[in-house]
Amino acid sequence: MSELGELERILKRLNPEWKDIVAQIVDITMSELERILKGLTLEELNWQPKPDCNSIGWTTWHLTRALDAVISMITGEEQLWIRDGWCTKFNRPADPADTGGRHTPEQVAAFNSPDTDILLDYFRAAYEKANVCLAALNRSDLDRKIDDSWSQLLPTVGSRLVITIVDMLEHAGQIAYIRGLLQGKGWQEF
Amino acid sequence: MEWKDLLIQNFDVSLVAMERTLQGLTQEDLDWQPKPDCNSIGWITWHVSRILDYASSLFAEEEQLWIKDGWYGRFNRPADPEDRGRHTPEQVAAFKSPDADTMIAYYRVALEKFKQYLSTVSSYDLDRQINDEFSQILPTLGSRINAILRETQQHLGQIAYIRGQLQGYGWVELIK
């Protein structure tokens, strides 16, 4: 890292901004997902406590798809899902709308998770793209309008980020809960 | 919109999510555990509310609403500011929820207090040191706000998941 970059890093640490808190939420979620998914088999990733309940694999895929889709909406770039061929690694169609939103219980049950490495690698790629996107966003960008089918409900970049964070964190909490359900209290110590 | 508003709106959304998930649940539903060592909807909701109340009191150096306004009595629990859910499975199983209205009411006042505190915080305050048992892992006010937001949202995701387990796919449509 250049000296200037190092200086910036130190200054940032000494004088944190609200924006850094937003970025750190995504940072910490990355490390939490690594911890929550660690050591799970394919069978465990696809396990559903009841036939109409989401599995750990489905939920992780879905929250990552949401992050990838929203960031690409904000930046106007193609989704990593398509551009980098993640759809193939998940054995799914190259469809940018394939995010798991509005999936029926049958579709959830039919979802076959890839292994934890692929799940985490896709999240990491989406997370890195989110970091680049966030770093480039200014306060004034938060009020920028986005025109698509969600515009009525979530008109601006800022409102999309709010919902994306809510969605990502709620689903991350669910994954941890499902793992507890599967392996019992104390799984975090394993 | 400011970056700080983005965090505040996150907390606003959490109240809507909480009200939706608890709507129409009986005390039996609130106390239901999918397995004996899993947290119930009632326990999680109480725990999240306690964190918000505990944290804003710690940061603002004020008494907790839990004590000051007698919420502990409505939850039938001791007047102990440290009673916020660092529990064993036995303690979780023994937890008895009050009704959903009481749970939502305490969440609402705890959240309001936390948001009020947040409105007084400037970016210069974010690196202020906070001294308590978590100081080693979460030393600054900024890191606490981050952790509280994550924990709140994660627990809200969990109660929605538990309601789905209890009532099956489509419960969101049932309450509309």
B59: domain CATH number?
1.20.120.450
Check pLDDT > 70 for residue A2: no
Check pLDDT > 60 for residue A14: no
**DSSP structure class, residue A143:** G
Q: State residue A185's pLDDT score.
A: 81
Lowest-confidence pick of A43-52, A98-107, A179-188:
A179-188
pTM of the entire predicted model:
0.92
* Tokens (6 digits) for A29: 């979620």
Check pLDDT > 70 for residue A3: no
Distance CA A146, CA B58 (A): 40
Distance CA B118, CA B11 (A): 11
Mean of the per-residue pLDDT values of chain A: 91
Residue recorded with tokens 């690698």: A121
Residue recorded with tokens 């505040």: B8
* CA-based nearest residue to A59, from A95, A6, A101: A101
Q: Enumerate residues 6+ apart whose C-beta is below 8 A from A69.
A: A79, A81, A96, A99
Q: State residue A148's pLDDT score.
A: 83
CB-nearest partner of B160 from A19, A50, A170 = A170
Q: State residue B95's pLDDT score.
A: 97
Distance CA B15, CA B148 (A): 14
Q: State residue B175's pLDDT score.
A: 66
What are the tens digits of pLDDT across the range A29-42? 999 999 999 999 99
SS3 B140: strand
User: Rounded to an integer, what is the distance from CA A118 to the centroid of its chain?
Assistant: 13
User: CB count, 10 Å around CB of A40?
Assistant: 22
CB B117 within 8 A of CB B62: no
What are the tens digits of pLDDT across the range B90-126? 999 999 999 999 999 999 999 999 999 999 999 989 9
The count of CB pairs under 8 A between chains A and B is: 124
Q: State residue A12's pLDDT score.
A: 60
What are the tens digits of pLDDT across the range A84-93? 999 999 999 9
pLDDT grade, residue A149 (50/70/90)? confident
**Rounded to the nearest 10 degrees, what angle do helices A116-136 and A56-75 cross at?**
30
Check pLDDT > 60 for residue A1: no
Sign of the four-CA dihedral B114, B119, B120, B124: positive
CB B83 within 8 A of CB B77: yes
- Phi/psi at B129 (5° precision): -80, 140
CB contact under 8 A, A180 and B38: yes
Its domain, for residue B84, covers 3-174
Regions of chain B short of the pLDDT cut 50: none
CB-nearest partner of B150 from A49, A169, A185 = A169
Q: Mutation test of the interface with chain B: which of A134, A138, A169, A182, choosing the one with the most B Cβ atoms within 10 A? A: A169
What's the structural domain count of chain B? 1
Element (H, E) at A184: none
Q: What is the mean pLDDT of residues A148-157?
A: 87
Contacts of A176 in chain B (CB under 8 A): 154, 158
- Using the Cβ of B5 and the Cβ atoms of chain A, whether some distance falls under 8 Å is answered with yes
What are the tens digits of pLDDT across the range A121-134? 999 999 999 999 99
Distance CA A58, CA A45 (A): 8
Check pLDDT > 90 for residue A55: yes
Q: State residue A153's pLDDT score.
A: 86
